[in-house]
Amino acid sequence: MEFYFALATLFGFRILLGLSAYVVILTGQISMAQAGFYALGAYTAGAATALWGWPIVPAVLLGAIVGAVFGFLVGFPALRVRGLFLVIATLAFTEIVRMVFLNLKYTIRVGDRTIGPAAAEGFRGITYYFENGWSSLQIAGFTWLFVLAVLLAFWLMDRSRAGVVLRAVGEDELAASSVGINLTAAKVSAMTLGGLVAGLAGALYAHYATYLSQEEFGVLLASFAVAYPLIGGTGSVLGPIAGVLFFSLLIDGLRFLGDWRNLLFGVLIVAMMNVRPHGIIDVRLVRRLAALLRPAPKRAYAGD
């Protein structure tokens, strides 16, 4: 059972990371900054519990807030560029964050241990769960409370005016602007919300991992964050979940192939993009499912 609880916890982190990119993609933007927000949330929340003695919930929320603040700050300059230029600009932000943590040294001595970010040696001593005797079930449950809360919030957002506005901006900026939608507000809001969710995911991950290294928060993590919703589809909040399951099955389910797994991994992604170019759960699939689930209208009889 320990293995399954650990797997569920890892799925939770990946789903949150995918959702953080999903909300940005809705506005037609591809952001590689999610790994940077993830790292900021992880280091901040880790410092809050390990160095400052905070309880876990305020520490996790602080990590989410820091991610949101940097998402807001990145959102404005990101509006000046689009397409590949936006990808490069946000990737540069992620690399800047990574380099900052590579050189950050902020440690304290607790007994015979050194705790805190120690530059290239990483951040050791984030042991809140284990110091307080949390079981794998409790860690998984705590993680999924946040995952379900974010999923519910995004599900409600998709069915509100906010979701309509974000999708309108992503589909046609000119048309959205012509009906009075503020493009700047929509894009910055999406980037801020994406930063908040990525920071939250990083904060939870830090306490599960207990050790952080700046090498974890590079291009590969940023690429997976974007790939989850793109492969899973942006027709619904279920899209990033489908993307996480797809990649998890490929990564974990094909380990028996050894080095051949990497080759097959790429082939399957290319095949998926050709078979489902708009993702596993795209807008058309969502509409079809909604039509099937909608109750059929009552027929009028001549005698009525």
Is residue 28 within 8 A of residue 190, CB to CB? The reply is no
272 falls within a domain: no
Q: What is the pLDDT of residues 150-188, one digit of tens each?
A: 999 999 998 899 989 998 998 888 888 888 888 888 999
Separation of alpha carbons 66 and 63, rounded Å = 5
Separation of alpha carbons 37 and 64, rounded Å = 9
Range of lowest pLDDT (22-31, 226-235, 290-299): 290-299
pLDDT at 114: 83
pLDDT at 285: 65
SS (H, E, C) 219-261: HHHHHHHHHHHHHHCCCCCHHHHHHHHHHHHHHHHCHHHCCHH
pLDDT at 126: 93
256 falls within a domain: no
304 falls within a domain: no
Separation of alpha carbons 168 and 269, rounded Å = 28
Confidence of residue 250 (pLDDT cuts 50, 70, 90): confident
From its phi and psi, is residue 135 left (phi > 0), alpha (psi between -120 and 50) or beta? Answer: beta
Higher pLDDT, 11 or 288: 11
As separate numbers, helices (DSSP H) first and strands (DSSP E) second, the chain gives: 13, 3
Question: What's the domain count of the chain?
Answer: 1
301 falls within a domain: no
Range of lowest pLDDT (113-127, 149-163, 171-185, 289-303): 289-303
pLDDT at 36: 96
Is residue 196 within 8 A of residue 214, CB to CB? The reply is no
288 falls within a domain: no
Range 281-289 average pLDDT = 66
Q: What is the pLDDT of residues 12-40, one digit of tens each?
A: 999 999 999 999 999 988 889 999 999 99
Confidence of residue 112 (pLDDT cuts 50, 70, 90): confident
Higher pLDDT, 136 or 2: 136
Range 202-230 average pLDDT = 92
The model's pTM is 0.89
Q: What is the pLDDT of residues 257-273, one digit of tens each?
A: 666 666 666 676 677 76
pLDDT at 276 > cutoff 80: no
pLDDT at 132 > cutoff 60: yes
Residue range(s) defining the domain that contains residue 214: 2-218
pLDDT at 200 > cutoff 90: yes
SS (H, E, C) 55-112: CHHHHHHHHHHHHHHHHHHHHHHHCCCCCHHHHHHHHHHHHHHHHHHHHCECCEEECC
pLDDT at 108 > cutoff 80: yes
295 falls within a domain: no
Q: Count Cβ atoms below 10 Å from residue 141 Cβ, excluding itself.
A: 14
Summary mean pLDDT of the chain: 86
108 falls within a domain: yes
Confidence of residue 286 (pLDDT cuts 50, 70, 90): low
22 falls within a domain: yes
pLDDT at 248: 81
Q: What percentage of the chain exceeds 90 in pLDDT?
A: 49
